[in-house]
Amino acid sequence: MKKESLYLETSVISAYFDERELFKLESTRAYWRRLTQYDVCISKVVLTELEAIKDAAMRGKALDLVKDYPLLEETEGDGILSLEYISEGVIPRRYENDARQIAIASVNGVDYLVSWNFEHIVKVKTRRMVSLINLKHGYKPIEIVTPSEL
């Protein structure tokens, strides 16, 4: 049986090391031990955001954590989708990278996008609107979940 696929959004990788929020840290680490059950992927957007971490030691740890995961291809289709997520008010323009991550995962047919971003990714409105926009463009809906939901 084929494994389900999941995309790790940057907030999950950051939470693996964030000792300020113990629930997220513990949930993320417990979840990480189960990742072998899935085909895990990231994108260049994730790498770019991790490379922007100011603390060199933390940056190195975060990049090392995801070094073995394949990068999804970026296409014209995900550019179109991400712009529609923004223009429809699903994701605020200033968080364009979040829209890009959802779109890249959607265009590549990923089953789950995993995030700790409750501000504008892991929300009922976002889940519904992303599904509608994806269907409109011929892509399947993507499940947007937290690590503790899987």
Q: Which residues, in sequence order, are CB contacts of 110 under 8 Å at separation 6+?
A: 5, 6, 7, 41, 72, 142
Q: Which residue is it, tokens 């499940």? A: 143
pLDDT in tens, 98-139: 999 999 999 999 999 999 999 999 999 999 999 999 999 999
pLDDT in tens, 24-34: 989 999 999 99
Cβ neighbours around 21 below 10 Å, total: 12
Judged on CB neighbours under 10 Å (0-12, 13-18, 19+), 51 is exposed
Angle between helices 44-51 and 56-66 (to 10 degrees): 160
What is the average pLDDT value for the chain, to the nearest integer?
Answer: 94
Could you tell me the domains of the chain?
A: 5-149 (3.40.50.1010)
pLDDT in tens, 37-51: 999 999 999 999 999
Could you tell me the pTM of the whole model?
Answer: 0.94
Q: 81 is written with which tokens?
A: 């989708």
Work out the end-to-end distance of the chain between its first and last CA atoms, rounded to an integer number of angstroms: 18
